[in-house]
């Protein structure tokens, strides 16, 4: 390692000391589906400051499965950031996780099951319009609807394939 004026030279590699106290414990937390925020708080109680980004990086380094499954068939739109926490968006991500075999908490599975049943009984699907306040809306099912969402057509479909714009979810 090169030193320049008493400091490590730019570009020199120096392994950072890990803040992880018990790697097996942390792996168990991920297996249990613990949230990054919860992990930050657990370590804060031990007097160790961490960030959600640190836990995300740990997940990546250890090849652990992502929590969010990207499923373009269930979220075929470019969703604006202001709409990404709307209830239909949350439910669509849960359904994607369920379809891909991901773990879902019992209470979330109950909410998802009730929501899917209601959509089916009401004969509606989810549509998305970024120009409305809430973005998502339930619309009557049409013969061309093959899943629980109304697939975008025309310009909206082209925008999804072309990439994201400012203010949109990646």
What pLDDT is stored for residue 56 in this prediction?
86
What pLDDT is stored for residue 134 in this prediction?
93
What pLDDT is stored for residue 168 in this prediction?
42
What pLDDT is stored for residue 146 in this prediction?
87
What pLDDT is stored for residue 8 in this prediction?
47
Regions of the chain with pLDDT less than 50:
1-4, 8-9, 158, 160-170
Assess contact for 136 and 126: CB atoms under 8 A: yes
Return the percent helix, strand and coil in the chain, to nearest 5: 40, 10, 50
């Amino acid at each position: 390692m090169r030193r320049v004026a008493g400091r490590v030279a730019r570009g020199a590699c120096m392994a950072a000391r890990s803040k992880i106290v018990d790697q097996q414990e942390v792996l168990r937390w991920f297996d249990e589906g613990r949230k990054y925020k919860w992990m930050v708080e657990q370590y804060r109680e031990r007097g160790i400051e961490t960030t959600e980004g640190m836990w995300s990086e740990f997940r990546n380094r250890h090849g652990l499965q992502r929590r969010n499954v990207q499923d373009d068939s269930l979220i075929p739109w470019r969703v604006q950031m202001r709409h990404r926490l709307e209830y239909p968006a949350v439910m669509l991500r849960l359904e994607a996780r369920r379809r891909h075999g991901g773990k879902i908490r019992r209470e979330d599975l109950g909410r998802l099951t009730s929501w899917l049943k209601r959509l089916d009984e009401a004969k509606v699907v989810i549509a998305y319009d970024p120009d409305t306040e809430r973005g998502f809306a339930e619309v009557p099912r049409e013969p061309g609807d093959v899943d629980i969402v109304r697939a975008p057509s025309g310009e909206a479909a082209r925008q999804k394939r072309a990439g994201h714009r400012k203010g949109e979810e990646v």
